Chain A
Amino acid sequence: MLEVEGLAAEREERLLFSGLSVSVSAGEGLHIIGENGAGKTTLLRILCGLTLQSAGKISWCGQAVSKFREEYCSDLLYLGHKNANKTELNCRENLRLALGVLPVSDDAISDALHDTGLGLISHLPTRFLSQGQQRRLSLARLLLTKSKLWILDEPYVALDYKAIEWLDSHLERHLSNQGMLILTSHQKLTMSSEIRVLNLGEQYA
């Protein structure tokens, strides 16, 4: 379970949010909304430990994240704005690299790529892929990872409606498997699962 207490962040002398307390437990999802510049991405990066908060603490399973970074990171999967694909490598190689040392068989990778709709072009270097296909490739990680906490920054960007349905079904399955999900999205979520909403702009409106 992820617990956040009294979190505050500022950028360029400007307070983005403060006193933010929220918790996400197994099987729960959290949808962070807010206007452009409200600090959604900053919040997600703080939750991952990439950005330093100006106040407050974050704990994972009752332990401070800052002290148990490695344990936390092994439970965490973060997808940012950037797809983190190497343009020289093909889909299969990229996926294999992204998964690190997870014992994943070649068949499982093929299945994941096929499921993502990249099965026929998995041998192509990713520089030949479209924006949407690149996004799908980075989302293919979700099919193979064992991480409990998924933090996704605008996962729906550049996806077509079929891919959105596909992503929805996987997020739902993750939640029903007692996974945790935090995401930002400008669109209204189309998932059928119940998801809490956190509005970052509300505090200062």
Chain B
Amino acid sequence: MHKMLWALFNRDMTLFMQRKQDVVTVLGFFLIAVALFPLGISSDPDLLRTIAPGAIWIAALFSTVLALDRLFSEDLDDGTLEQQMLMPVPISLMLLVRLVAHWVITSLPIVLLAPLMGLQFGLAFNEIAILTLSLLIGTPILVLLGAIGAALTVGLKSSGGLVTLLLLPLYVPVLILGTSAVSSTMNGVDVTAHFSLLGAALIVSLVLSPFAVATALKITLD
């Protein structure tokens, strides 16, 4: 079975190599969205430092939503999603592999770019480390939860706006945890609690979300 799952992971990687522009678009979106905050608010260094965690996190959040579009829609259109649902492995496991691949392709670059963004906003070294770590734990949760919304709306005409509406309420707790970890570091508060909660949220969503996405996809393909 692990052979089949590894083949699936490789499939997503192969397809990614064929179509890098999708990921470049998402990354470009992330960079521009972050850059818009200073342009739209102010270049005052103190203010920028205050809004930095929120700005970078919100940009990462919307980039995740944007990238979710490529998770299922093309596979639904060309029929490969049906074939994946008929693979002789548990559907939730199959989806977990695909979500991990999706995270590696679309979110990991964002996490890696985050330190640069932190520098742009004048964050200190330890603050940048906390920001990157919060994104490293937080973005998989965003992908896992987001896949539920993507699975429910895939193939619909107005799915872009709708998926945002469905997902934002679910994303609020993650956003709050992630940004407050960074701002607490700035205020010299201990952030162990933040990371314990983020870690717990990641584990819970790793366990539950694949089943939820499987249910949602079954409903969609029905």
- Chain B residues with CB under 8 Å of A93's CB are 14
Beyond the given pairs A82-B78, A88-B18, 16 more chain A to chain B contacts, judged by CB atoms under 8 angstroms and listed by A's residue number, are A49-B86, A70-B89, A70-B90, A73-B86, A78-B82, A80-B79, A81-B79, A82-B77, A84-B78, A84-B83, A86-B18, A86-B80, A88-B15, A97-B14, A100-B7, A101-B3
- Chain A residues with CB under 8 Å of B19's CB are 88
> In terms of DSSP, what is the predominant structure of the interface of chain B?
helix
- Chain B residues with CB under 8 Å of A51's CB are 221-222
Q: Report Cα–Cα, A98/B3, bound state, in Å.
A: 14
Smallest CB-CB separation from B80: which chain A residue?
Answer: A84
Q: Is the CB of B15 within 8 A of A86?
A: yes
Chain B, interface size category, equals 20 to 34
Q: Is the CB of A80 within 8 A of B4?
A: no
Chain A, interface size category, equals 20 to 34
With A80-B79, A83-B78, A100-B7 given, is the CB distance from A50 to B85 under 8 Å? yes
* The 7 nearest A-B residue pairs measured at CB: A82-B79, A74-B88, A84-B79, A88-B18, A73-B88, A101-B3, A84-B80
Q: Is A184 an interface residue (CB 8 A)?
A: no
Q: Which residues of A contact B (CB under 8 A)?
A: 48-52, 70-71, 73-74, 76, 78, 80-89, 93, 97-98, 100-101
- Chain A residues with CB under 8 Å of B78's CB are 82-87
Q: Mark contacts of B207-222 with chain A using CB atoms, 8 A cut-off: 1 yes-contact digit, 0 otherwise.
A: 0000000000010011
Q: What's the least CB distance linking B91 to chain A, in Å?
A: 8
Q: Report Cα–Cα, A98/B222, bound state, in Å.
A: 22
Q: Report Cα–Cα, A115/B198, bound state, in Å.
A: 55
Most chain B Cβ neighbours within 10 Å, of A49, A84, A93, A98: A84
Q: Is the CB of B222 within 8 A of A52?
A: yes
Q: Is the CB of B79 within 8 A of A89?
A: no
Smallest CB-CB separation from B11: which chain A residue?
Answer: A97
Q: List 24 A-B contacts (CB under 8 A).
A: A50-B85, A50-B86, A50-B222, A51-B221, A51-B222, A73-B86, A74-B88, A78-B83, A80-B79, A81-B79, A83-B78, A83-B79, A84-B79, A84-B82, A86-B15, A87-B78, A88-B15, A89-B18, A93-B14, A97-B7, A97-B14, A100-B7, A100-B87, A101-B7
